[in-house]
Structure 1
Amino acid sequence: MTGSERRDQIRAALSTSTDALSATTLAHQLGVSRQTVVGDISLLRANGLRIVATLHGYELATADQPTAIVVCRHGAAAALDEMTRIIQAGGVIKDVTVEHPLYGRLRGELELRTVGDVHLFMGRLKKQHGHLLSELTDGIHTHTIGYQTAAQLTAIQATLRTAGYLYEN
């Protein structure tokens, strides 16, 4: 099978699946390495296919939903509470971004949709002895938040403000 044929199969699998597909799952289905699939995903994205990486695997981006960027500041110990508040107020945490003095803008794609996703992310962070991007910038970071209604966005901002996480200086 050629690389082009393999990418067509990945595109078809993502188009028909109702669940996210991990690179490992796709690799097994296609008889290639996980890294080959990761490279194929990069090529598909470079050619305009909107693929989202979630904690559960890859999926095609759904219809556009309204988004807003919120600026937050807090220590690492408050990250679980911050993300849980956003989800409970009806938001989807699309990403986290920091402005690093050396590298410029650093962005991590998150796609956290449920409180379970938040706990899974924090568990993986701990297991891998990882660090939050915001630790590089004294806790200042932004999130792109997906929401459905203006009331949800207002609720998200209000809960972050109440907790002292919303950076409005």
Structure 2
Amino acid sequence: MTGAQRRAQIQAQLSANTDPISASSLARQLGVSRQTIVGDISLLRANGDAIVATLRGYQYENTAQPTAVLVCRHFPSDTQDEMQRIIAAGGIIKDVMIEHPLYGQLRGSLEIGTVGDLNLFLAHAKQHQGHLLSELTDGLHMHTIAYDTPEQLVAIKKSLRLAGYLYEE
């Protein structure tokens, strides 16, 4: 199988599934290494495919869903509560962004839409002794939030505002 054929198989797999597919799973199915899949995904992205990485694997981004960027500020210990509030109100946390004084905007893809996703994120952070991007900016950060209805966005903002996390001037 050529690289082009393999990438076409990856596209077909991702298109046929709404759930993420891990690089390891794709590698097993296609008889190549995980790193080959990671390279193929990079090439597909470079050619315009809207593939996002989640904690559970790769998937095509849902571009039909409306999004909003919310500015938040809180302590690292409030991260789980902040994210639970967004999920509970029907949101999907697409990413986290900060404005870094040296590098400009730094963005981390999250794709957290369920309590399971959140628990996986928190477990990975603990396991890898990870630091939050917001720790570089005194807790100030932005999230791109996907939602289905305007009422969900209102509920998300209300919940974050109630907790004191929504940064509004």
Please give the TM-score of this superposition, normalised by the length of structure 1: 0.96
Residue identity opposite 2:14 in structure 1: L
Confirm or deny that 1:149 pairs with 2:128.
Answer: no
Q: Provide the C-alpha distance between the structure 2 equivalents of 1:131 and 1:28, rounded to a whole number of angstroms.
A: 32
Post-superposition shift, 1:63?
4.6
Identical aligned residues as a percent: 64
Q: Provide the C-alpha distance between the structure 1 equivalents of 2:87 and 2:19, rounded to a whole number of angstroms.
A: 20
Runs of 4+ in 1 over 6 A off after TM superposition: none
Q: Provide the C-alpha distance between the structure 2 equivalents of 1:140 and 1:60, rounded to a whole number of angstroms.
A: 29
Post-superposition shift, 1:17?
2.6
Distance 1:60-1:136 versus aligned 2 partners, 3 A rule: same
Q: Provide the C-alpha distance between the structure 1 equivalents of 2:62 and 2:168, rounded to a whole number of angstroms.
A: 31
Confirm or deny that 1:96 pairs with 2:96.
Answer: yes
Greater shift, 57-66 or 84-93, is seen at 57-66
Paired residue total: 169
Greater shift, 1-10 or 139-148, is seen at 1-10
Confirm or deny that 1:66 pairs with 2:66.
Answer: yes
Confirm or deny that 1:16 pairs with 2:20.
Answer: no
Confirm or deny that 1:137 pairs with 2:151.
Answer: no
Residue identity opposite 2:131 in structure 1: H
Q: Provide the C-alpha distance between the structure 1 equivalents of 2:26 and 2:94, rounded to a whole number of angstroms.
A: 23
Residue identity opposite 1:159 in structure 2: S
Residue identity opposite 1:72 in structure 2: C
Q: Provide the C-alpha distance between the structure 1 equivalents of 2:82 and 2:62, rounded to a whole number of angstroms.
A: 25
After superposition, the CA RMSD in angstroms is 1.1
Post-superposition shift, 1:3?
1.3
Q: Provide the C-alpha distance between the structure 2 equivalents of 1:136 and 1:162, rounded to a whole number of angstroms.
A: 24
Q: Provide the C-alpha distance between the structure 2 equivalents of 1:94 and 1:17, rounded to a whole number of angstroms.
A: 19
Post-superposition shift, 1:62?
2.7
Q: How does 1:99-114 map to 2 (within 5 A)?
A: 99-114=99-114
Post-superposition shift, 1:27?
1.0
Q: Residue in 2 aligned with 1:49?
A: 49
What's the CA shift string for 1:70-111, capped at 9, x where partnerless?
Answer: 000011100000000000011110100001111111101111
Q: Provide the C-alpha distance between the structure 2 equivalents of 1:23 and 1:12, rounded to a whole number of angstroms.
A: 14
What's the CA shift string for 1:99-140, capped at 9, x where partnerless?
Answer: 111111110111111122111101110011101111111110
Q: Unaligned regions of 5+ residues in structure 2, if any?
A: none
SS across alignment from 1:106: strand
Q: Unaligned regions of 5+ residues in structure 1, if any?
A: none
